[in-house]
């Protein structure tokens, strides 16, 4: 038995002095007892859950891998990640591919890992067996994914699959941009404004409205990934009850006006937009239109980011930020008056619920896994990419000072990270409840 204590423990919507008693990796009591470890005024929050992580292994391990990704997660206070089905080769669109991915991850993971299945044209028959093997739901694109082995679904193809997901009790995760509204980059490819113009906010809105009609017709649950625009938030606000949405730290921290010519480390899709869009995302979180903040960790080698050429048309569109999600979100959240309880919900509770892991993960409560992050919201870090646990050092956060400092991360009551020291290979592979 272990008892930890702090004057600031996040229990649901409350932040209060409490002790957390842990036995056999589970929380057995929240009370007011003497502690084996007293963290003083440090915040004790549920271990973070990140449901949008591209680990890329097997097949593209030179981009990222289970060992480096899960170490980065632990160092950032994340105790569970859900791996996306694409960028790995093969993509996770079959039981065989899932088995290969699990075999690759075995013995390498420092935090717990669950898996999304992929849904592409021709993989529809794999949905039932993949859910039987524990995937948390299915990811699809309505536009080109950027990798040839993961083609997009049409609205009609998706409509035929949503009733199956409804019956199976799993959500559809959708990259929602309308391909008819995505353009070729015109003009100087080094100028960020030209890349921004190629993926307009109307593309997000149109795709969300199409998805809303499908959800209204089928009753299925659909989750819109990486929302980046005012128009997308507005479309979600009027969408059917079965729809939800997320955003990412890079959309909440950065804005298009600050992105210099050739600064391809900022490239992602949908793109980072102007300040008015950023503020609409914060409003969407405050009002509950957006339910969570996830990393969309999608790193690539520096050559693929094209830093030397500075060509936004050629550069890979993805940002590595798994280790920085808490600090980046808190930096903006504190400025916008959000509470620690709201941040815990956005970063832990809501993602766990989406993935069907909320019977074990995402909150400090009796019977839950003793997954905890201990951090100082008044502390700060200066980001140096070469000090992150990610496989590649390139990051748009380079040199930034972010609020919040992770002191310790506990997985089922065992310390996997403490003040810069990692204890690797403690993680397990999970299935949806």
Residue-range domain boundaries for the chain: 47-354+379-403
Half-sphere exposure in the Cβ direction for 260 (13 Å, CA):
5
Does residue 225 register a pLDDT over 90? Answer: yes
The pLDDT tens digits of the residues spanning 277-329 come to 999 999 999 999 999 999 999 999 999 999 999 999 999 999 999 999 999 99
The pLDDT tens digits of the residues spanning 228-251 come to 999 999 999 999 999 999 999 999
Does residue 14 register a pLDDT over 90? Answer: yes
> Is the peptide bond prior to 58 cis by the omega test (within 30 degrees of 0)?
yes
The pLDDT of residue 117 is 98
Bridge partner list, 115: 83
Does residue 24 register a pLDDT over 90? Answer: yes
* 348 contacts: CB under 8 Å, gap ≥ 6: 45, 46, 47, 48, 49, 361, 362, 363
Q: How many CB atoms lie within 10 A of CB 201?
A: 24
What pLDDT band is residue 215 in, cutting at 50, 70 and 90?
Answer: very high
The pLDDT tens digits of the residues spanning 96-150 come to 999 999 999 999 999 999 999 999 999 999 999 999 999 999 999 999 999 999 9
Does residue 256 register a pLDDT over 90? Answer: yes
The pLDDT of residue 47 is 98
Residues 366, 22: Cα–Cα separation, whole Å: 9
Does residue 395 register a pLDDT over 90? Answer: yes
Report strand pairing: 2-11 vs 14-23.
Answer: antiparallel
Residues 287, 284: Cα–Cα separation, whole Å: 5
The pLDDT of residue 433 is 86
Average pLDDT over residues 390-406: 97
- The CA radius of gyration of the chain, in Å to the nearest whole number, is 20
Does residue 211 register a pLDDT over 90? Answer: yes
Task: Give me the chain's average pLDDT, please.
Answer: 98
Residues 128, 167: Cα–Cα separation, whole Å: 10
The pLDDT of residue 132 is 98
Whose tokens are 């956005």? That residue is 346
Average pLDDT over residues 405-419: 98
Residues 229, 421: Cα–Cα separation, whole Å: 38
Cα–Cα separations (whole angstroms), residue 17 to 4, 139, 424? 11, 40, 30
Token representation of residue 128: 């039932």
pTM of the model: 0.98
Q: Which is nearest to 281 in space by CA: 338, 355, 210?
A: 338
Span between the terminal Cα atoms of the chain, in Å: 26
Does residue 83 register a pLDDT over 90? Answer: yes
Residues 370, 195: Cα–Cα separation, whole Å: 44
- Domain range 47-354+379-403, CATH architecture: Alpha-Beta Barrel (3.20)
In the three-class reduction of DSSP (H, G, I as helix; E, B as strand; rest coil), residue 260 is classed as: coil
Average pLDDT over residues 370-378: 98
What are the E-state strand segments in 58-106? 78-83
List alpha helices for 258-380, DSSP H.
275-287, 302-305, 325-335, 340-344, 350-354
The pLDDT tens digits of the residues spanning 151-195 come to 999 999 999 999 999 999 999 999 999 999 999 999 999 999 999
Asked whether 184 and 125 are in contact (CB, 8 A), the reply is no
């Amino acid at each position: 038995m272990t008892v930890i204590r702090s004057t600031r423990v996040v229990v649901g919507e409350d932040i209060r002095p409490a002790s957390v008693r842990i036995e056999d990796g589970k929380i057995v009591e929240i009370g007011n007892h003497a502690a084996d470890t007293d963290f003083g005024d440090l915040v004790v929050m549920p271990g973070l859950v990140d449901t949008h992580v591209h680990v890329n292994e097997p097949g593209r391990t030179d981009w990222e891998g289970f060992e480096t990704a899960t170490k980065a997660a632990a160092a950032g206070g994340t105790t569970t990640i859900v791996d996306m089905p694409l960028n790995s080769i093969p993509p996770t669109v079959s039981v065989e591919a899932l088995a290969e991915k699990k075999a690759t991850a075995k013995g390498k993971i420092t935090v717990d890992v669950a898996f999304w299945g992929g849904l592409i044209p021709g993989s529809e028959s794999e949905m039932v067996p993949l859910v039987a093997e524990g995937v948390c739901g299915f990811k699809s694109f309505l536009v080109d994914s950027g990798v040839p082995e993961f083609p997009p679904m049409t609205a009609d193809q998706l409509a035929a699959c949503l009733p199956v997901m409804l019956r199976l009790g799993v959500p559809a995760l959708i990259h929602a941009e309308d391909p008819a509204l995505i353009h070729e980059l015109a003009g100087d490819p080094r100028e960020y404004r030209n890349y921004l113009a190629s993926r307009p906010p109307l593309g997000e809105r149109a795709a969300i409205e199409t998805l809303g009609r499908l959800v209204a017709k089928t009753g299925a649950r659909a989750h819109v990934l990486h929302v980046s625009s005012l128009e997308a938030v507005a479309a979600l606000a009027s969408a059917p009850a079965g729809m939800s949405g997320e955003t990412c730290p890079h959309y909440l921290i950065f804005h298009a006006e600050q992105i210099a010519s050739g600064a391809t480390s900022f490239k992602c899709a949908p793109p980072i937009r102007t300040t008015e869009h950023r503020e609409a995302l914060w409003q969407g979180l405050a009002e509950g239109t957006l339910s969570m903040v996830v990393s969309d960790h999608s790193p690539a080698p520096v050559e693929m980011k094209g830093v030397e050429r500075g060509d936004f048309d050629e550069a890979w569109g993805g940002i590595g930020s798994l280790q920085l999600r808490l600090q980046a979100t808190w930096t903006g959240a504190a400025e916008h008056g959000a509470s620690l309880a709201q941040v815990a919900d956005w970063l832990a509770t809501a993602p766990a619920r989406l993935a069907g892991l909320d019977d074990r993960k995402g909150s400090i409560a009796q019977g839950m896994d003793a997954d905890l992050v201990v951090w100082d919201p008044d502390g700060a870090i200066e980001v140096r990419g070469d000090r992150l646990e990610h496989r590649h050092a390139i990051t748009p956060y380079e040199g930034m000072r972010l609020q919040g400092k992770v002191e310790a991360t506990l997985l089922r009551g065992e310390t996997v990270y403490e003040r810069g020291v990692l204890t690797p290979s403690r993680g397990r592979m999970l299935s949806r409840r």
